[in-house]
Amino acid sequence: MATNPHDIVPAHLAVQAMRDNGYKNAAYAIAELMDNSIQAGATQVELLCGEKKQQVGQRTRSRIHQIAVLDNGSGMDATVLRLALQFGNGTHLEEEQHTGIGRFGMGLPSSSVSQCQRVEVWTWQNGVENALYSYLDLNEIKTQRINEVPAPQSKLIPSIWQQVGKNFDRSGTLVVWSDIDRCMWKTGKTIIDNSELLIGRMYRKFLDQGQVSIRMLAFDLDNFSNVITEKYALPNDPGYLMAKTSCPEPFNNTPMFQSWAGEDHYEAIFTIDFRDRQHEVKVRFSYAQEEARQAYSGRNPGDLPHGKHAAKNIGVSIVRAGRELDLDQSLVIKYDPTERWWGIEIEFPPSLDDLFGVTNNKQSARNFAELINIDLDSLLQGRKTITQVKEELRQDEDPREPLLEIAHKINSQLSVIRKLIKAQTKGTRSKNYRYEGSTPEKRATRVTENRKQEGYKGKSDKDESLPVEKRQATIEKTLTDVGVTESKAKELAAATVSDNLKYVFADADLETAAFFSVKPKGGAIVVTLNTNHPAYENLVEILEEEVDNTDTETLKSRLTKSLKGLKLLLAAWARYEDEQPDGKRRQDTQDARVDWGRIARQFLEREE
């Protein structure tokens, strides 16, 4: 077949170029086939991976030979089958048809050629014995033996697929990939192992609601009774609000996170005006329950199975028509391991595809990163309100206008949730550091006892004689009042009273300009460090991070940053003292510095 010399792009060259179409890996390509199945109303979908023995170097190894996706959907007639195998064609191209997870008409052929040289399709609407068949073969296209999708014809489904498949219902479709040359995973088991979490996450809403089940099977093509692995996909919810998911025990049957219980009660709904129609966008927030953040047998929660599971689900889940497109990490603080403990999901309808910039392989929403990284500070300069800025953008026909309020909500809410997460794990400083000798609390308590014997009295001393229960309850309430979680406050109060400690250190977001607060309560002195103060980030937080597995350069950087923070803190005091008017107030300030330094020397002197 001769190539038309007037073609803008010769078909056989275009198809070869389409192999590099941006699918991240085989799991994403397989998901395209599953999209078609679910769009066709399938309640049962199967991923079937057939292996064969082959010589690899000096050894015989099992290697993936064919991959199939089988469903019990509505099937296709001859016309639709031919359209489905055409690049850029399909049955969901018009805007009014953008209601489900399909759309672009590129899914079946583009995902297939990204992984293999040949794709075959059997589909039936009136019994499997009446299946229609067609295919695409890149070698035949390249050599120009075919330049169009072969006309569908009746053809029996190979017996091997009928043997291993379980869902050959009255209607359905079977897609088979052969000559697999671009799949980085070499066995059926590794394909399933690497696809399981992704498929469970993409289709979690369908799985959770029982709309579809997804079976995954790896088997030996030469001996189909030899099952290598078989499992059913479980929902994988990055917001961890679903029960019965793939999350390990003890959160496999109960949610690991809790909904954000703010004014929006879990879900914020925004109405977007786009192309003369109104559309709803929903944003959901969640964060880890306290039980999920607790250490067990000396292991940090992040090192436990459920913590490792959460580490694979970090980011903002972008959901279109109930199917996840991407887990966007634009907002993730990559070096902070606590980022695994929050969840954000944004869900929008297919009618907003162009606004969100949905790619034709449905792997991302290009405009989302720009959406949540809008420079709100520059837009709100001059004390403008969100409403004023939106009106200005609307007048300028700025495409960011419909998204501004959503961006503001996500950024502001995430800031609050991060503070809550930090509060969950903040306890005594002694638990965050490896001290040589006694803890700061014990050392400070001993120094204070010495000072009391020297005749110095403190306001907190008079309550030391109160009943233990009252002291503990008072300290606990003081801690919860500043934002410490109930379980952590109870733990700190009990330890303080039982160990006869004079000092309690806590961390909380204080609505004050002070770096810390001091409250004499229950015979103790509660020192609360203000996590909202820059000194906290530059002195406390950077030093309390774990040092295990931290490289030398990172440690040097952290120490340099903390030293800088200390000098700036002292410079702030120096300026405060410098600004005092001559006379008694200036002298009192200087005396306070000397007195504090004298006491600090006692607290910091090395113990013999």
pLDDT, residue 283, reads 94
- 117 with 137: CB under 8 angstroms? yes
Which residues, other chains included, contact 47 with Cβ-Cβ below 8 Å and sequence gap of 6+?
Answer: 30, 34, 67, 68, 69, 192, 195, 199, 214, 215, 216, 217
CA neighbours closer than 13 Å in the CB half-sphere of residue 168: 18
Q: Where are the domains of the chain?
A: 11-232, 257-424, 426-532, 551-608
C-beta atoms surrounding 41 within 10 Å: 15
Amino acid at 68: A
Strand partners, 603: none
Fold for 11-232, please state it.
Heat Shock Protein 90 (3.30.565)
Give the C-alpha separation, 384 to 387, whole Å: 8
Give the C-alpha separation, 133 to 120, whole Å: 7
Helices (H) and strands (E) in the chain, counts: 21, 17
Which residues, other chains included, contact 449 with Cβ-Cβ below 8 Å and sequence gap of 6+?
Answer: 502
Peptide bond into 238 cis (omega under 30): no
Secondary structure (3-state) at 137: strand
Spatial strand order of the sheet with 172-180 comes to 153-154, 132-137, 116-124, 172-180, 59-71, 44-56, 213-220, 223-232
Provide φ and ψ at 259, rounded to 5°. -65, 150
In total, the chain counts a number of residues equal to 608
pLDDT, residue 373, reads 67
pLDDT, residue 404, reads 80
Name the residue among 267, 262, 261, 260 with its Cα closest to residue 282. 267
Give the C-alpha separation, 85 to 94, whole Å: 18
pLDDT, residue 400, reads 67
pLDDT, residue 538, reads 72
Euclidean distance between the first and the last CA atom of the chain, given in angstroms as a whole number: 94
Q: What is the pLDDT of residues 130-171, one digit of tens each?
A: 999 999 999 998 888 988 899 999 999 999 999 999 989 999
Provide φ and ψ at 7, rounded to 5°. -60, 135
Give CA angle at 321 (314, 409), nearest 5°.
55
C-beta atoms surrounding 17 within 10 Å: 9
pLDDT, residue 21, reads 66
Give the C-alpha separation, 319 to 283, whole Å: 10
The ranges of the chain with pLDDT < 70 are 1-17, 21-22, 88-100, 102-106, 261-266, 369, 371, 373-384, 386, 399-400, 425-438, 541-551, 558, 565, 569-570, 606-608
CA neighbours closer than 13 Å in the CB half-sphere of residue 200: 25
Spatial strand order of the sheet with 516-521 comes to 503-508, 524-530, 516-521
Q: In Å, what is the CA distance from 526 to each residue of 4, 493, 507, 516, 519?
A: 83, 10, 10, 10, 5
| Mean pLDDT taken over the chain | 84
C-beta atoms surrounding 135 within 10 Å: 19
Which segments of 59-131 are extended strands (E)? 59-71, 116-124
Which residues, other chains included, contact 353 with Cβ-Cβ below 8 Å and sequence gap of 6+?
Answer: 98, 103, 320
The torsion defined by the Cα of 11, 96, 361 and 43, in degrees rounded to 10, comes to -110
Which residues, other chains included, contact 507 with Cβ-Cβ below 8 Å and sequence gap of 6+?
Answer: 422, 423, 426, 484, 528, 529, 531, 536, 540
pLDDT, residue 93, reads 46
